[in-house]
Amino acid sequence: MDKYLLVILIFMIVTIPIAFVEPATGELRDPPLIPLFYVAIAGIAIIVLYSSYQERKKRQKANVKRRARK
């Protein structure tokens, strides 16, 4: 996984508890920020899917290059 994607992934993971806990006081939010929670989950899914797509493309190029040498 690219280092930039990893940093964004960490921010998304940290966002999940913020949707349920007030950062200033540490108390649970009475109405939790459900849209923030779902956006964080969607962001994590997009990052994981994009990263796996990139890795698959790299692997395909490496396989083509390796097979062409023979």
Q: What is the pLDDT of residues 39-65, one digit of tens each?
A: 999 999 999 999 999 999 999 999 998
Number of compact structural domains in the chain: 1
Distance in angstroms (rounded) separating the CA atoms of residues 13 and 34: 15
Contacts of 5 (CB under 8 A, 6+ apart): 47, 50, 51
CA distances from 3 to 35, 37, 51 (A): 27, 23, 11
Judge if pTM exceeds 0.75.
yes
**How many residues appear in the chain?**
70
The domain of 17 spans 3-69
Lookup: tokens for 10:
């960490």
